[in-house]
Amino acid sequence: MAGRAIDSHDRSANSATDAGTGPVDTWTPSSSEMQRAATFDPARTHAALANIDLLECRAVAPRGYGHAQVTVHPSGGISQVRVAPPVSAAGAKCIGDELERARVPLFKGDPVSMNATWYVP
């Protein structure tokens, strides 16, 4: 599995890892909320992701720092978490599920894909 990313929703270590879709917010901001929304702020997104406690993933994921690619939606939700190797399928699912709990401020524009760093204590 070296050299390939594992999608957090990939149920099998042997299956393809094209970008899968995690739960995306079904909530749609009102027009007044979107008028008040700012532009995308990557620093705030990194901070929100860094505040996610991954202690629960300790049994299935390697301890320490790792990387993932995430998609951030204008509604503030996170989806399509792709955890970079070396992480087992179970570890990637746990990390992905936890990172998807992060919420960022509303922003104007299209969804943004970005790299993120995570830490399992």
- Note the pLDDT tens digit of each residue in 75-112: 999 999 999 999 999 999 999 999 999 999 899 899 99
Quote the pLDDT of residue 28.
64
* Residue labelled with tokens 């955890």: 83
Does residue 22 fall inside a structural domain?
no
Quote the pLDDT of residue 121.
95
Does residue 3 fall inside a structural domain?
no
Measured CA to CA, the distance from residue 19 to residue 3 in angstroms comes to: 15
Does residue 44 fall inside a structural domain?
yes
Quote the pLDDT of residue 38.
84
Does residue 23 fall inside a structural domain?
no
**pLDDT for residue 60 is more than 90:** yes
- Closest to 70 (Cα-Cα) out of 24, 119, 115: 115
Bridge partners (DSSP) of residue 83 are 6, 68
Quote the pLDDT of residue 36.
63
Q: How many residues does the chain have?
A: 121
Cis status of the peptide bond prior to 86, with omega within 30 of 0 = yes
**Structural domain count of the chain:** 1
Give the domain range for residue 59: 31-120
8-51 confidence digits (pLDDT tens): 443 233 222 333 444 445 556 666 665 666 889 999 999 999 99
Does residue 80 fall inside a structural domain?
yes
Does residue 11 fall inside a structural domain?
no
Better pLDDT: 7 or 84: 84
**pLDDT for residue 63 is more than 80:** yes
Those residues whose C-beta lies under 8 Å from the C-beta of residue 13, and which sit 6 or more positions away, are 1, 6, 88, 89
**Which token pair is 106?**
């509303």
Quote the pLDDT of residue 6.
42
Quote the pLDDT of residue 32.
67
